[in-house]
A and B are shown apart, each in its own frame.
Chain A
């Protein structure tokens, strides 16, 4: 590079940015001897110096505290929402099932309810537990009440799933309607 070939802006900026200035001795020699390039170099140096000066961070002094508070309050709200949706998911079918059982029992008569429905379940239960006859006989009382609980559980499950089935059906109906 001859003294007459001036440095490009890129060369000057690279030189300014480079930490190992000794590697660029050729550029340094040119800068020492060329007034015009030295002027450009000094201009870039000034720009770089100003651009590197810290600027004031105009955020509230308690910015971090506030953001952390917002985040924690919103996560509490999220948890509450999840709990609410879980309750509403289970509570509605549960109450509906119990209501249905009671209504049925009321109209059918409690004795009939007991004799037909629950004894049916109990018979079913006994047919399952019959092979374990020894155990079944010695725990016959426990067997009956367990059968009762099992029957009630199965009924709740049945009516509970009815709710889901109805929802699925109604969704499917919406799809059909949209097709039409």
Chain B
């Protein structure tokens, strides 16, 4: 664990409010990246706050051999999971995501009006990323936005590193296939 995190932890455990504020500032981006992939927008701020309250309450039990960021990430992931379970949201539509037939994807093909609406290629891809199943979206965010390694993502999501890798590849393939079905190939590979 790095020195900055060690100092922050001892500051927080010593009762420093400003140390905790710095800890939140340092890790709020990671927490947001996880929460925003799993929880509806209206709940983002509340869930993020909930995550940091849990971090505060459990910090004395944190094993400093691991990275603080992955520990906080895990709390964020579990808190979001609990929220979804309470709301009875179907999370792991692995089958729906992975095994989704071409027909079902084709059924949601966009109309010509929609195509003109989502004119920007980046926006189209972004929209499809947001529509990915929760688990795939989270892995994609942690890998590409947080530059995390497979084992770090695995620690957060309680998955083996190999599974994380295969889910990541699957997510990107799913994304590519959906986009190819919805839009012209020429549009996508510009």
Contact = CB atoms under 8 A, between A and B. Distances in A.
Interface of A: 9-10, 13, 39-40, 42-44, 46-48, 50-55, 57-60, 63-72, 74-75
A68 B126 contact: no
Contacts of A48: 144, 172
Nearest to A78: B57
A53 B33 CA distance: 12
Contacts of A70: 49, 53
A2 B175 CA distance: 28
Interface in B6-61: 15, 17-18, 20-22, 24-25, 28-29, 32-33, 36, 41, 44-45, 48-49, 52-53, 56
A78 B184 CA distance: 60
B19 to A, nearest CB: 9
Given A13-B172, A47-B172, A48-B144, A65 B21 contact: yes
Contacts of A64: 21-22, 24-25, 28
A63 B172 contact: no
B125 interface: yes
A72 B141 CA distance: 32
B45 A60 contact: yes
A176 B31 CA distance: 50
A52 B145 contact: yes
A72 to B, nearest CB: 5
B32 A67 contact: no
Nearest to B130: A55
Interface residues on B, range: 35 or more
B25 A43 contact: no
Contacts of A57: 28-29, 32
Nearest to A66: B49
B188 interface: yes
Contacts of A71: 17, 20, 52-53, 56
Contacts of A46: 121, 125, 188-190
Contacts of A10: 169
B83 to A, nearest CB: 16
Contacts of A63: 24, 28, 45, 48-49
Given A43-B176, A50-B125, A55-B36, A68 B189 contact: no
B24 A13 contact: no
B57 to A, nearest CB: 9
B189 A42 contact: yes
B5 to A, nearest CB: 16
B136 to A, nearest CB: 11
B89 to A, nearest CB: 20
Contact of B176 (A44, A53, A72): A44
B137 to A, nearest CB: 10
B129 interface: yes
A1 B122 CA distance: 34
Contacts of A69: 17
B172 A44 contact: yes
Given A51-B145, A59-B44, 5 more contacts: A51-B144, A55-B33, A57-B29, A67-B49, A70-B49
